Amino acid sequence: MNGRLALQLFFGPLAAGGLAWLGVDRGKTWPLIAAGVFLVVYVALVLRRPLRRRRALAKPFPEAWRTVLERNVVFYTELDAAGRAHFEKNVQLMVADLDFEAVGDVALDDELLVLSVAGAAVIFHHLGIEPKVRRTILLYPDNFDDEYDSSKHADILGMVHRQGPIVFSRRALKNGWNRKTDASNVCIHEWAHVLDLDDGFADGVPVLVDDEAKWDEILAEELERVRRGRSALRQYAGTNRAELFACAAEAFFEKPEPLKKKHAELYGLLVEAFRYDPLAD
């Protein structure tokens, strides 16, 4: 049991006990009834998510989900049996944790569920922390614009709101995984933003890094290189530090060689950030 859950299970019954005591003290029955109802609803709400996670892990990993991973996620196919089991566990936990909403004609099938969370499973794989993300994934049929319309010129592939949903274009999500080595994967991109935001700041410096000053220095240099057109990263990485980190994460997992060759220091930071070196022997 984690600390937060323990606290919730302590203070909820404490509040109910206080209410019940009030009833006993004043000789009234309604506070006792209210305390009982409150306690039942409170415990059900607090335990809903942990129970959902436990139920998810009790089931075998669906074969259809495994097929989706084998067809689309190179990172997964290169893992040994223990690594695959760990990856699959994280996929199951995230599908259980997240709420999914389909927009328009999108049908929430096995493929979309798995492809939506596979980027998180890649990013979290070596971090030694469980991905516990309470967000909604919104799946739009196609690329969208600022008004969430899929007009002809709509060019947004995905988006993360600071405290809110993660939005994906279905088309971009599938393309991101189908085109395996083009350093462009909206799922990895948006989940890299989530990792960056974990400490509350979209500053391009993810959690679990040791030397923030070094990150500040290298991100500033890399941002300049992109803006001068002298980077292996795409132009969009020059938007700000958060986009630089997210675009670099895409390159790191899909096309690491040129990144290491042309951006050795940035590559070193990413090895630190993800506790993993894709080019290690």
Nearer to Zn ion, 113 or 246 (CB): 246
Nearer to Zn ion, 87 or 189 (CB): 189
For the bound state, the minimum distance from the C-beta of residue 242 to Zn ion, rounded and expressed in Å, comes to: 7
Nearer to Zn ion, 97 or 243 (CB): 243
Return d(Cα 204, Cα 200) in angstroms, integer. 11
**234 phi-psi bin (left φ>0, alpha ψ -120 to 50, beta other):** beta
Nearer to Zn ion, 20 or 167 (CB): 167
Residue with tokens 């940035």: 266
For the bound state, the minimum distance from the C-beta of residue 182 to Zn ion, rounded and expressed in Å, comes to: 17
For the bound state, the minimum distance from the C-beta of residue 158 to Zn ion, rounded and expressed in Å, comes to: 7
> Which residue of this chain has its Cβ atom nearest to Zn ion in the complex?
246
| Contact predicate 105/142, CB 8 Å | no
For the bound state, the minimum distance from the C-beta of residue 46 to Zn ion, rounded and expressed in Å, comes to: 34
Which of 184, 98, 90 has the alpha carbon at shortest distance from 129? Answer: 90
Burial of 22 (0-12, 13-18, 19+ CB in 10 A): middle
Let me know how long the chain is.
281
For the bound state, the minimum distance from the C-beta of residue 239 to Zn ion, rounded and expressed in Å, comes to: 8
Which of 261, 253, 274 has the alpha carbon at shortest distance from 182? Answer: 253
For the bound state, the minimum distance from the C-beta of residue 247 to Zn ion, rounded and expressed in Å, comes to: 7
Nearer to Zn ion, 69 or 241 (CB): 241
User: For residue 145, what are its two tokens?
Assistant: 């614009």
Nearer to Zn ion, 19 or 138 (CB): 138
The residue type of 204 is G
Nearer to Zn ion, 72 or 185 (CB): 185
Query: Which positions lie near Zn ion, rule CB under 5 A?
Result: 243, 246
Residue 156's beta-bridge partner residues? 144
Q: What does 102-144 look like in DSSP terms, one character per residue?
A: E-TT----HHHHHHHHHHHHHHHTTTSS------EEEEESS-B
